[in-house]
Amino acid sequence: MARVFSGIQPSGELHIGNYLGAVRNWVALQERHECFFSIVDYHAITQSYEPAQLEAQTFDMAVGLLAAGIDPERCVLFVQSHVPEHTELAWVLTTVTPLGELERMTQFKDKSQLQESVPAGLLNYPVLQAADILLYKADLVPVGQDQEQHLELVREIVRKWNRRFGAGFFPEPQVHHTEAKRIVGLDGQAKMSKSLNNTIGILDDPERIWQLLRPAMTDPARVRRIDPGDPAKCNVFSLHQYFSPADTVDHVADSCRGAKWGCLDCKRVLADNIIAAFVPMRERAAELRAHPERVHEILRSGAERARAVAAETMAAVRAAMGLLPAEKVALRR
């Protein structure tokens, strides 16, 4: 049984890009592997955010994940900041991480352009990610394509640390993708992303889903209803491939190519299929919201289980690196 780790930022709602690219995979992997899934709030604070909203967003993310099928009986679900070893190991790993590698990360380059003054936390984001994964000595990391470069760096950090402090101590984690490794946002341009405001939330109500989808970008060549379109250039068509049955997908492609219907007709069918796909999740989420104490208990127990593993790894890391054990001075951690 492989160890699996993955995380999601509570920087907004759980959207269909997160779901198709990562969370759906988590739900499948928890059936056959030992899985640790974390709501990574320390990652979320590397971008500009509203402190008054973070707690509610963290709770909502837990609700979203549980509604999507994350089962606390089959995996460990916890909030990153409840397990202090994450930041502790992150510091340790900064000491073997080359600065130049951090500076060349695409996500860092993109996001630092959006900030007037670039915080060091943004640069060190992949180091904290390395700590998240390595604390649990995870073999597999189910993520979207946007995280591939970070995972390459995590493997390099592993090689450097192992070479210096303990051959084979950390495994080199492998990326695990779904077939939907990059879902494009409703703008038809960038990856669907909470911070880009181009998302459809899996728990959005039916009317909101339709209002979001209505203005979504399609093939720019289809200016008028009578203009034939190219499904390969249309993000709405690619979403049909994830939410509509095969015969509907064929019908959509044919109607688009032959200008047999308008983009709004095509979007209405997609909206109905997205709405239907998430009905059970909306119901589960409503049930969980009515019982917040259940969600709190799941997160409490998850953090406790995660800490047991994380504390063991950290103790071994400190020993391998020659730090004076706290127990020697009778200090309890």
Catalytic residue among 137, 160, 191, 233: 191
Total Cβ atoms within 10 A of residue 255: 17
144 binds ligand AQP (CB under 6 A): yes
Q: Which two tokens stand for residue 193?
A: 């992303």
Q: What is the DSSP letter of 82?
A: G
Q: Please tell me the distance from the alpha carbon of residue 146 to that of residue 143, in angstroms, as a whole number.
A: 8
Catalytic residue among 109, 137, 160, 194: 194
Binding mask of the shown chain, residues 192 to 221, with x at each position contacting ligand AQP by CB under 6 A? xxxx--------------------------
> Would you call 109 a catalytic residue per the annotation?
no
CB-nearer residue toward ligand AQP: 92 or 234? 234
Give me the helix-helix angle, 246-257 and 235-243, nearest 10°. 160
First-to-last C-alpha distance (Å) of the chain: 30
Check if the beta carbon of residue 199 is closer than 8 Å to that of residue 192: yes
Tokens 């101590």 appear where? 169
Check if the beta carbon of residue 172 is closer than 8 Å to that of residue 140: no
CB-nearer residue toward ligand AQP: 194 or 222? 194
Interface pick for ligand AQP out of 3, 5, 8, 219 (rule CB under 6 A): 8
Site for ligand AQP in 165-184 (CB under 6 A): 181-183
User: Smallest distance, Å, CB 330 to ligand AQP?
Assistant: 41
Interface pick for ligand AQP out of 71, 88, 101, 146 (rule CB under 6 A): 146
Strand order in 140-142's β-sheet? Answer: 75-79, 34-39, 3-8, 140-142, 174-176
251 binds ligand AQP (CB under 6 A): no
> Would you call 267 a catalytic residue per the annotation?
no
Which residues, in sequence order, are CB contacts of 96 under 8 Å at separation 6+? 157, 160, 161, 164
Check if the beta carbon of residue 10 is closer than 8 Å to that of residue 196: no
Residue nearest to ligand AQP (CB): 21
Least Cα distance to 238 among 197, 274, 203, 277 occurs for: 274
147 binds ligand AQP (CB under 6 A): yes
Catalytic residue among 111, 137, 160, 233: 111
Candidates 18-26, 130-138, 206-214, 244-252; binding stretch for ligand AQP (CB under 6 A): 18-26
21 binds ligand AQP (CB under 6 A): yes
> Would you call 260 a catalytic residue per the annotation?
no
User: Smallest distance, Å, CB 191 to ligand AQP?
Assistant: 4
Give the total of residues touching ligand AQP (CB under 6 A): 19
* Strand locations in the chain (E): 3-8, 34-39, 75-79, 140-142, 174-176
User: Smallest distance, Å, CB 147 to ligand AQP?
Assistant: 4
User: Smallest distance, Å, CB 138 to ligand AQP?
Assistant: 13
User: Smallest distance, Å, CB 311 to ligand AQP?
Assistant: 26
9 binds ligand AQP (CB under 6 A): yes
Helices and strands (H, E) in the chain, number of each type: 16, 5
Q: For binding to ligand AQP (CB under 6 A), which residues are involved?
A: 8-9, 11, 17-18, 21-22, 143-144, 146-147, 181-183, 191-195
Active site residues: 111, 191, 194
